[in-house]
Amino acid sequence: MPTTKRPRTRIKDLLALEQLPVPNDPLVVMGWVKTVRSSGAVAFVQINDGSAFADLQIVVDANCPDYALVQRLTTGCSVRVTGILQESLGRGQRYEILADAVALLGDADPEEYPLQKKRHTLEFLRELAHLRPRTNTFGAMARVRNAMAFGIHQFFQQRGFLYVQTPIITASDAEGAGAMFRVTTLNINDPPTRNGGIDDGQDFFGRPAFLTVSGQLEAEIFAQSMADVYTFGPTFRAENSNTSRHLAEFWMVEPEVAFCDLDGLADLAEDFLRHIFAHALQSCPDDMAFFNRFYDKELIATLESIVAADFERMTYTEAIAALQSSGERFEFPVEWGLDLQSEHERYLTERKVGKPVIVTDYPSSIKAFYMRLNEDTPAHRQTVRAMDVLVPRIGEIIGGSQREERLNILQSRMAEAGLDQAPYWWYLDLRRYGTAPHAGFGLGFERTVQFATGMQNIRDVIAFPRTPRNAEF
């Protein structure tokens, strides 16, 4: 049949047509059936192919040779439809296809197919990560996530940043915090031993190796030669955090900029977030309208206000003072020198300023070894040029800092943190040869998608979430 040779048209492209094509030749569309209903001598089949939020309505007249087949179609079947595009008389869609032929590609037994027409809970859908992209929510999620990833590259490429790929397997702990997954080919049931311990020398790399927690240190290498760079890749944390904002595997965007200080970095972070949100709103209007309607009625208004206004900035010391004078009862103590907990972050951004806030200059004792030491602070209140960007509902979305470019200070900070300097020899070399001021940050991609879509749980913004005791799919 020659009609089967016609190329497939995407539903998105059909729905975007300004007017009916001239000549209006038969088209081929393919997709998965959402619903089928028939009334008397005509059947209506809604199909979706993932290209757009909207389904395409297929009208099948009883004279169509495939009418009997169409009446047997059920939710989840895949079909190929040939027909003519026409203006739709029904409500809710501009165009529909009047079918000449409908072929069943793949059946989905209605007794067994788990995604029936009714609304399912997000928890239930998490158990069906292989089928949930067919739902409105996860189809919209996949498209918004894609748009935001594109917006990220677009932002940096427009500003002349070089995209560098940093390694996933690493021998050094970029955060100096130790929550890493070990990578090994040793037989863990019977590992080779040496001097009473495991003989790491016999492991694949001749030393212990891990999944990276951050591409920062390698990005710094490139910032110290290419000046403006970024990485965007998966990172791994073996913390046993079972919360709505932690994943064991998540994606991080990490720009690293030479000849930049913390103020310049904060400006970059603001422009960056504004760009990504504007891009999502502009390129996925139907998906964003859906999230606004079903998940957060304030979503689009919030994002638009973020795109339009400057963020607030305050130091950690100011933040502590604001928390202490807030009159709030917090679960965790608020005291200079203690880290901010999620409840504190949310108070600052939601209640205190009512928009995103950039908190800077944290105590050195609670931040990573590579952050630049502020010189003018008293020893008992020593701070570093760190920044966290906090947003409503989520709290920390970005963590970054100006980097310590002075060799002697970096070495003493590493000693204070109890880090062995030997594996960081190359990182220290960057301070020995042509060291330059520089700064960078890491944006948690899933937290950003969570914020942009109004989803409560981070497990619903990544296709295959990895969390403690869960690595299905």
Residues that bind ligand 4AD (CB under 6 A): 174-175, 214, 216, 237, 246-247, 250, 252, 254, 396-400, 440-442, 444, 446-447
Decide whether 435 or 457 has the Cβ nearer to ligand 4AD.
Answer: 457
Residue 444 interacts with Mg ion (CB under 5 A): yes or no: no
Stretch that binds Mg ion, among 53-61, 216-224, 332-340, 395-403 (CB under 5 A): 395-403
In whole angstroms, how close is the CB of 386 to Mg ion at the nearest point?
A: 9
Nearest approach, Cβ of residue 71 and Mg ion (Å) = 57
Q: Among 457, 449, 429, 421, which Cα is nearest to 144's?
A: 449
Residues 396-415 that bind Mg ion (CB under 5 A): 399
Backbone phi, psi, residue 67, to 5°: -60, -40
DSSP string computed for 73-137 = --TT-EEEEEEEEEE--STT-SEEEEEEEEEEEE---TTT-S--SS---HHHHHTTTTTGGGSHH
Residue 143 partner contact from ligand 4AD, Mg ion, none using kind-dependent CB cut-offs of 5 to 8 Å? none
Least Å from the CB of residue 282 to ligand 4AD: 23
From ligand 4AD, Mg ion, none, interface partner of 400 (C-beta below 5 to 8 A by class):
ligand 4AD
Q: What does 356 bind: ligand 4AD, Mg ion, none (CB cut-off 5 to 8 Å by kind)?
A: none
Instruction: Name which of 139 and 444 has its Cβ closer to Mg ion.
Output: 444
Backbone angles phi, psi at 190, to 5 degrees: -150, 70
237 binds, among Mg ion, ligand 4AD, none (CB under 5 to 8 A by kind): ligand 4AD
Rounded Cα gap, residues 47 and 461, in angstroms: 24
Nearest to 408 by CA among 387, 435, 385, 384: 435
**Cβ-based nearer residue to ligand 4AD, 95 or 251:** 251
For Mg ion, the closer of residues 53 and 347 by Cβ is: 347
> Is the peptide bond preceding residue 234 cis, with omega within 30 degrees of 0?
no
E strand or H helix that includes residue 450: helix 445-453
**CB within 8 A of 430, min separation 6: which ones?**
220, 221, 224
User: Shortest gap between Cβ of 388 and Mg ion (angstroms)?
Assistant: 6
Residue 397, binding choice from Mg ion, ligand 4AD, none, Cβ under 5 to 8 Å by partner class: ligand 4AD
**Of residues 175 and 287, the one with the C-beta less far from ligand 4AD:** 175
Residue 346 CA to residue 170 CA, distance in Å, equals: 34
Q: Which positions touch Mg ion (CB under 5 A)? A: 399
